[in-house]
Structure 1
Amino acid sequence: MSKKKKLILTIVSILVVLLGAAGVYGFNIYQSLKETTETMHTPIERVQPEKRPEKVTLEKKDPFSVLLMGVDKRENDSGRSDTMVVLTVNPNTNSVKMLSIPRDTRVEIIGRDTEDKINHAYAFGGVAMSMATIENFLDIPIDYYIEINMEGFKDIVDAVGGVEVNNAFAFNYEGYTFEEGTLQLSGEEALAYSRMRYEDPNGDFGRQQRQRQIISAIIKKGASLSSLWNYSNIFDALGANVKTNLTFEEMVDIQRNYGSAAKNIEQYQIAGNGQMINSIYYYMVSDEERARLQDLLRQHLELD
């Protein structure tokens, strides 16, 4: 065999070994991801909502909705869903609509026969009551939920090696100083950064924006090639701090059939005004604003 052929054979052999190793590594990642999603999977018992007489079929590319909840659970506290974002996903228009709901919004709490702050629904009845209350408020079905333990933010941030954010203004909170401009945050710093509200001129809206910053930074960092070498810690952090009624198979269907919709995300906020009722602050939403949002989301879900 000539030297040239020997060299080519050697290079091919090395490539085969490397590809085989990559295949095994990729298989390990796939298995770990599947195990993590099974840990995250938390079905809830709820009556099939009349807003959605028939369950959505992701294989058929039906438009669907997801409720994202950032739940702040501290010691000796059942927790409240301080961050609530409703996503409607339509593969036919290749678009996602993202609606942030202020935590102080005064609504009817379904199952309690009372009006209260929308984030109290979680404290009263967990995920099921939160979903039912938001369904009633927006007049749309909520097909899935994803609950993130805000206390676990720091574990997820540390697992991806910290995150980078662009801070709009300088402030101090929980012993940390956050200067204006680009910041590199550890897990503890990111948790404090996402919690501050009262010093923000935009109040809860400002806090929601910072929380979205952290989530986006986590996704960006977690999707980078460098994070693949630390996938075990990342999956452990997700499994310990995220719950959802989505199955692994449904997540695969969403990635396969709805991936292009994520490139076109439109963000919306609810217009309203603050009002004191019995010495308690509420965010009041007019019937006209509520009807506008209902029409917007129902059309996007192709319900009308």
Structure 2
Amino acid sequence: MPTRPSPGSSADQAAVPPGVTPAAPTSRAAHSERAARVRFRRAVTLMLMTLVWPGTAQLVAGNRRIARIAMWTWVGLLGLGAVLVGLLLWNREALLSLALQPTLLLLLRMLLIAGALAWAALFVDAWRLGQPLSLRQNHRLAVVGINGFLSLTVAGSLLFGAHLVGVQRDFIITMFGNGTATGAHDGRYNVLLMGGDSGAGRWGLRPDSMTIASIDAVTGKTVLIGLPRNMSAFPFADGSVMDKQFPHGFSGSACEPYCYLNSVSTWAGDHPQLFKKSKNPGVDATIMAIEGITGLKVNYWAMVNLQGFKDLVDAVGGVKLNVRQPIPIGGLGDDVVDYVKPGVQTLNGMQTLWFARAREGSDDYSRMARQKCVMNAMLQQISPQTAVRNFEQIAKASTAMISTDVPRSELDRFVQLALKAKSQKISTVSLVPPLINTGDPDIDVIREAIQSAVDRSEGDAPQASKKARKKARSGPVTGGSLGSLQDGYAANQSDNLAASC
């Protein structure tokens, strides 16, 4: 029987056809290296699968029941995300309505927290399925690093989202109460905006500025009605508590030494027995005065802390304003320490605050005009994108800045009206000289001026002529505002506030 040549013998080599190089024997080390790389790639792939579609790693290498739950949950979340994107593109109002519901926000927060924990657990399980103990040390360390990075990034992002949702919910609950909603009056919502003098011991006691935002209940078109703090001898709403105390108007010895509109709040605070059922006697008394002056029925009020206002401006990255003259920083009994320089520029919170309230070298009425320019700039320039980027800072600043009686049930309505107002011209009328003698106001003239401004805003009356608008834009500048005390300030009487600023 012939003997079979051993592998590698000369006889075996002779069997190789001429011109063909014999294959080198496979190295055991090379085979081991390839196997290690395959295991490493498999471990990384399982983690990436978990990142792209949670549950797929378990489907191919683990618990299929967990895989099905995770995968279908992910499909549902993608579907929900598609619906939200659709609402953002085609029905932003509906999306905002959902974002303002505390119950839905609580549910969303719980889902985000649960999602963060579950997704992190799937990453850990994907790491286990990658058999880390079978990997070489360098591969093992790399897999641990990748898994840790993905777990912390994904879970951290979801937990941060849950935190922001919690901030939004706390903001809504803290800021807005469960008061009774009121309907529109003659098709308009009238909201009293007050700037509180935030000096020591004065918060909420002395409104330093008062403006009614009269908003069309359908279109959102807004007329800002400014009332001077030094108005006196005005009537109160018929039949109100203050009307019974001052049947002939706010004047005489009963209100001395200060018988001005911004002193009504202080007088009411000194006579709380007259407002036994009121939580805010000063605000309620001020509303009685403003309703008596304007003939409008006030739906809601909001008090703005002027010192906290600067935090809101800083939170949104500043406000772009046209500064027409140097505006003093300081004064009002203190030294002027600096000036806001002239020019179109973005002002920070402190600069914007002084632009809105400085009286040094000017007068109350030019200041009222500047305040309306700030209101217009804030409405036009704070975009949804800005609000999202700076949401936590805005919520924190707003909670400390504003006190209001707008109920949570009405928040959705006013957010939608604000979005409509953003794209439209804002009209203004201020009850100041030369239109009104603030020491002895003619109530009939006041109410006629307000109605005329509302009619023009709604297109029911002729707008100001081009000649008048041109004169307003090119006239003198006094106290940083277009116009003069004698002729009036453009931003106080305007059918297009933006053009007057």
Give runs of aligned pairs for residues 132-147 of structure 1, distance below 5 A: 132-147=288-303
The one-letter code of the counterpart of 1:103 is: R
Normalized against structure 2, the TM-score is what? 0.47
Alignment of 1:268 with 2:429, yes or no, is yes
Query: Which of 62, 66, 85 pairs up with 2:211?
Result: 85
Give runs of aligned pairs for residues 89-168 of structure 1, distance below 5 A: 89-92=215-218, 94-106=220-232, 107-108=234-235, 111=242, 112-113=245-246, 114-115=250-251, 116-125=259-268, 126-168=282-324
Which protein shows a greater Rg?
A: 2
Q: CA deviation at 1:259?
A: 4.3
Q: CA deviation at 1:188?
A: 2.3
Alignment of 1:72 with 2:197, yes or no, is yes
Q: CA deviation at 1:63?
A: 2.7
Q: Which has the higher helix share?
A: 2
Q: CA deviation at 1:168?
A: 1.2
Unaligned runs of 5+ in 1: 1-8, 49-53, 277-281
Residues 1:271 and 1:157: Cα distance change in structure 2 (over 3 Å): closer
Partner SS for 2:345: strand
Unaligned runs of 5+ in 2: 1-47, 54-73, 82-111, 113-153, 252-258, 269-281, 331-336, 459-501
Structure 1 equivalent of residue 138 of structure 2: none
Structure 1 equivalent of residue 406 of structure 2: 246
Counterpart contact for 1:63–1:91, Cα < 8 Å = yes
Q: CA deviation at 1:154?
A: 1.8
The one-letter code of the counterpart of 1:152 is: G
Residues 1:209 and 1:33: Cα distance change in structure 2 (over 3 Å): farther
Q: Using the alignment, how far apart are the partners of 1:36 and 1:143 within structure 2?
A: 22
Give runs of aligned pairs for residues 1-304 of structure 1, distance below 5 A: 13=52, 29=164, 31-41=166-176, 55-56=182-183, 63-77=188-202, 79-92=205-218, 94-106=220-232, 107-108=234-235, 111=242, 112-113=245-246, 114-115=250-251, 116-125=259-268, 126-174=282-330, 175-200=337-362, 203-223=363-383, 225-256=385-416, 259-264=419-424, 265-272=426-433, 282-293=438-449, 295-296=451-452
Residues 1:283 and 1:223: Cα distance change in structure 2 (over 3 Å): farther
Q: CA deviation at 1:129?
A: 0.8
Counterpart contact for 1:101–1:270, Cα < 8 Å = yes
Partner SS for 2:201: coil
Cα RMSD (Å):
3.9
Q: CA deviation at 1:199?
A: 1.4
Residues 1:153 and 1:94: Cα distance change in structure 2 (over 3 Å): closer
Q: CA deviation at 1:23?
A: 9.0
Normalized against structure 1, the TM-score is what? 0.74
Of 127-136 and 85-94, deviating more is: 85-94
Q: Using the alignment, how far apart are the partners of 2:220 and 2:417 within structure 1?
A: 10
Q: Using the alignment, how far apart are the partners of 2:454 and 2:380 within structure 1?
A: 30
Q: Deviations over 1:131-174 (max 9, x none)?
A: 11111111121011111011112221222233322101124331
Q: Which has the higher strand share?
A: 1
Residues 1:29 and 1:250: Cα distance change in structure 2 (over 3 Å): farther
Q: Using the alignment, how far apart are the partners of 1:261 and 1:221 within structure 2?
A: 12
Counting aligned pairs with the same residue, the percent is: 20
Q: Using the alignment, how far apart are the partners of 1:297 and 1:34 within structure 2?
A: 38
Q: CA deviation at 1:192?
A: 2.2
Q: Using the alignment, how far apart are the partners of 1:213 and 1:225 within structure 2?
A: 22
Q: Using the alignment, how far apart are the partners of 1:258 and 1:76 within structure 2?
A: 33
Larger relative contact order (CA 8 Å, sep ≥ 6): 1
In the comparison of the two structures, how many residue pairs are matched? 275
